[in-house]
Chains A and B, each alone.
Chain A
């Protein structure tokens, strides 16, 4: 069965800390891996990863994919209270337009 497993399920840090969120997957016909941030409403897109070893970066956030070991990490440096959210990892299956989501990591950044 296709699955995406995120860890940890929740994380509480202080402002300024660096965090690493993990996502491992077992999915048939892998096409891409995506990271989303969900605050109160809609998940918003962060990164889309298709190739191993190429880091994608946006400000304090960065992500990388390892297709051999079947995982990805999302790093957030110098965390701020506004980074508090649920971070969702999803894997897209080729040919089906289907995203399989993990259960998310709830990140809480305290001032």
Chain B
């Protein structure tokens, strides 16, 4: 299996622009998570899905952030409009319900820089 695949690896955008981050979970995994990592706040859970349905989006910082999972093999995290404080590494992770105790598999992350 190729693991959790995220794209792009790096994104540099200007303030006010729309940014879309993409994630392909491991095939068969039914949970998908979006995390944001910054120096100041560490790893923060933004939102997670179960069977393509958003379960908990309490970590989404504000309405500028939105996430979708149109099918079991694809999810997006969108920021519109982007701001410099959104600069961070965004990780996607997936897991299989039947092995909830076994931890997540993380993607390689998208490093977002908003200038």
The answer to whether A and B belong to the same complex is: no
